[in-house]
Amino acid sequence: MKVAIIGATGLVGQKMLQVLEEQKLRLDEIIVAASEKSVNKKILFQDKELTIMSVEQVIEAKPNIAIFSAGADASLKYAPLFAINGTYVIDNSSAWRKDPNIPLVVPEINASDINIDNHIIANPNCTTICMLMALAPLHKKYKAKRLVISTYQSVSGSGQKGLNQLVLEQKGLRSDNPAYPCQIHENVIPHGGNFLENNYTAEEEKLVFETNKILHSDIAVTATVVRVPVYGGHSESINIEFENQFDLDEVREILSNTSGVMVCDNPQENIYPTPIMAYDKDEVFVGRIRRDFSIEKGLNLWVVSDNIRKGAATNAVQIAKYIIENFKI
């Protein structure tokens, strides 16, 4: 089994290597690629030095699986070239998510959307993954009708550039290459991705589209994305209106029995999820579980996850694991 990581020097690429090592997949060879400026540099994997290759060199090596975290432009350019060679491509960018012929997958929810002929599989946006891990089992039981989502997203969601801006501003310095149009230190910014013609942002639109593609649903979704001065971990306030009535104790039981979800909900003891709690963990943490008394069948949740792990790297590796186990490659 030969696996390649495209974009191995970035925040998510490095985390992918870490997760691959933790998962102990059956790997005969791991290949890493990055931008031209990083070619021939060395990185460590399982205490071994790996030489960074160009993407073109990796294509020639014909890996069984290539996991991309190199941005949409690189994915659009190179993913089809891998796929033609029979490589299964798992792409972490937005490049292929809207393509009706490309499965968009959270393995715990819709791994069966992948078939052996799908040589490009899209990894969803980090906030979509986090939310759907909690929503999907409840939707299956009660059928969600409408979602109102507010996200509180850490700067690591903007990569190293976002982290650098926060660190510099905390020191009283200004970044020459800022990730955000406003100061992020001691501030919150209601802006994630480019603004669209309808005045929603690209990050907000992803939540609307990706939710329904993954669940094969037609749920009404509205979202507001907010960037907060937190290093890592995305948090989401989720208001759900169901078509069917629910029982709060049953909701807690369903979530507690959902693989990959950790219920953390005892407000009387000040126990609820926070980004620090989720740091470097794969679980999605759910708390503040309560009925919305303003509507008949409404539920409020507070959901937190590590956006670099389950929101990106871990989900991609889980897809790779599914392909390995089910397609016998």
Catalytic amino acids? 126, 234
H/E element, 133:
helix 126-142
Instruction: Please name every residue paired with 217 in a beta bridge, in sequence order, or none if there are none.
Output: none
Long-range contacts of 263-269 (CB under 8 A, 24+ apart): 263/287, 263/289, 265/289
Q: Burial, 134: exposed, middle or buried (Cβ in 10 Å; 0-12, 13-18, 19+)?
A: buried
Distance, C-alpha 53 to centroid of its chain: 26
Residue 114 one-letter amino acid: I
If you ran DSSP here, which 8-state letter would residue 32 be given?
Answer: E
**DSSP bridge pairs for 121:** 90
Q: From residue 178, how far is each of 161, 162, 168, 231, 326 by CA, in Å?
A: 7, 7, 10, 15, 43
